């Protein structure tokens, strides 16, 4: 389905893969500070933080899959099918926010995860659809800044907010169960293995990489979580921008889904439609698509952030190949 991750070198990076069988028309979308957000139960917010991310723009409204605001706070919604539960009751003492409004509601007001935590204490996530054609998606969310990361899940027991020390989120099962499952892999290492199986035997590694034997390689959400955590937590790169974004794409590349490897009941294939990496410190959104491995960038600060209209760029989907000797 999807994988989100954070990464920090000299700057802070936030991004995700979106794995699905079709696209809703993804566009890199900049929402300037004076774009009027109309919240169904909270009215209009006409002045707010600017943000950039990937969205489906429907009826002039940015339905963000992931975004980062000008203060460096990032947020992504990932599928949480079968576990996400939203309220069908309006609670007068709460901020009643529809599922599709979650990312704008948090990012237009909060500069840090700490501020987001406070806002979440007052929230009631409702099951109001955007439209008849776009019913509520079953999601959970990762919210991160350069200091900390949290996971937010609206389940039948209520709203759950978890500290996320690994900076990774996938889909099912619930986040606390995913974290518990990491204990099954704590013996894995990026270094060569040491013989603890039978110290009396002369057992030597016959290949590089044997310290990670047992690392899951399938495309299930639990396995992707383990693999992405292992890759991120062991990742090494330089501090520069090109080195950092290159490494980030390699981290998410460890859970890339290829067409044909995850076939659905109707014959369609789930695949990685796009991979994003946003330099949250600078407001630069980088992405690749399934058929275009060239990294493309959109810099929010090159737009008029005091404007009132959305700026959105369709993703480049055709492969860009550089002929080196031409």
Query: How many Å separate Cα 281 from the centre of its chain?
Result: 16
Angle CA 128–45–40, to nearest 5? 15
Mean pLDDT, the chain, whole residue set = 96
Q: What is the pLDDT of residues 242-273, one digit of tens each?
A: 999 999 999 999 999 999 999 999 999 999 99
Q: Residue for token digits 């794995």?
A: 19
55-82 mean pLDDT: 97
Query: What pLDDT is recorded for position 273?
Result: 97
Beta bridge partner(s), residue 143: 75, 150
For residue 214, the Cα-to-chain-centroid distance in whole angstroms is 25
Q: Please give the pLDDT value at position 47.
A: 96
What pLDDT is attached to residue 326?
A: 79
Q: What is the pLDDT of residues 269-288, one digit of tens each?
A: 999 999 999 999 999 999 99
Residue keyed to tokens 């350069």: 146
Provide the percentage of residues in the chain whose pLDDT is more than 90: 98
- The fourth-level CATH superfamily of domain 2-172+226-314 is Penicillin V Acylase; Chain A (3.60.60.10)
Res. 90 pLDDT band, cuts 50 70 90: very high
Residue with tokens 């069908």: 88
Return the pLDDT at 1.
80
Q: Write the DSSP assignment of 35-76 as a string of letters.
A: --EEETTTEEE-S---EEEEEEEETTEEEEEEEEETTS-EEE
Q: What is the pLDDT of residue 195?
A: 93
The DSSP code sequence of 168-191 is EE-SSS-HHHHHHHGGGGTT--SS
The rounded distance, in Å, linking the Cα atoms of 191 and 7 is 21
Number of CB atoms found within 10 A of residue 157's CB: 8
Residues whose CB is less than 8 angstroms from the CB of residue 77 and which lie 6 or more positions away in sequence, other chains included = 64, 65, 66, 102, 103, 137, 139, 140, 141
Q: Express the helix, strand and coil content of the chain in percent, nearest 5 each.
A: 20, 35, 50
**To the nearest whole percent, how much of the chain has pLDDT over 70?**
100
Residue 52 has pLDDT above 90, yes or no: yes
Catalogue the active-site residues.
2
Give the CB-side neighbour count of residue 41, counting CA atoms within 13 A. Answer: 22
For residue range 116-142, list pLDDT tens digits in order: 999 999 999 999 999 999 999 999 999
**Domain segments of the chain as ranges:** 2-172+226-314
Kindly report, residue by residue over 183-228, the tens digit of the pLDDT: 999 999 999 999 999 989 999 999 999 999 999 999 999 999 999 9
Q: How confident is the model at residue 5 (pLDDT cuts 50, 70, 90)?
A: very high
Determine the Cα–Cα distance for residues 219 and 201; give it in Å rounded to an integer: 36
């Amino acid at each position: 389905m999807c994988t989100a991750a954070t990464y920090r070198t000299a700057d802070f990076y936030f991004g995700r893969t979106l794995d699905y069988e079709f696209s809703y028309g993804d566009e890199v979308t900049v929402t300037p500070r004076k774009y009027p957000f109309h919240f169904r139960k909270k009215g209009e917010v006409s002045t707010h933080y600017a943000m950039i991310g990937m969205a489906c723009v429907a009826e002039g409204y940015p339905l963000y899959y992931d975004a980062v605001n000008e203060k460096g706070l990032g947020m992504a919604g990932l599928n949480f099918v079968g576990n996400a539960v939203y309220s069908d009751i309006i609670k007068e003492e709460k901020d009643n926010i529809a599922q599709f409004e979650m990312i704008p509601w948090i990012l237009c007001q909060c500069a840090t995860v700490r501020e987001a935590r406070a806002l979440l204490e007052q929230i009631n996530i409702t099951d109001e659809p955007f439209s008849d054609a776009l019913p509520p998606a079953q999601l959970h969310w990762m919210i991160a800044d350069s200091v900390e990361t949290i996971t937010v899940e609206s389940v039948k027991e209520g709203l759950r907010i978890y500290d996320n020390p690994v900076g990774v989120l996938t889909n099912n099962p619930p986040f606390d169960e995913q974290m518990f499952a990491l204990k099954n892999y704590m013996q894995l290492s990026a270094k060569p293995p040491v013989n603890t199986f039978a110290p009396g035997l002369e057992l030597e590694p016959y290949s590089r990489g044997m310290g990670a034997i047992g690392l899951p390689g399938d495309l299930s959400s639990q396995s992707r979580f383990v693999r992405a955590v292992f890759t991120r937590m062991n990742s090494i790169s330089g501090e520069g921008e090109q080195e950092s974004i290159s490494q980030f794409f390699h981290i998410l590349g460890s859970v890339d889904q290829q067409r044909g490897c995850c076939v659905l009941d109707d014959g369609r294939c789930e695949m990685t439609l796009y991979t994003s990496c946003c330099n949250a410190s600078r407001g630069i959104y980088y992405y690749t698509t399934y058929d275009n491995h060239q990294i493309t960038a959109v810099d929010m600060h090159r737009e008029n952030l005091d404007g009132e209209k959305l700026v959105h760029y369709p993703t480049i989907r055709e492969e860009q190949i550089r002929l080196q000797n031409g």
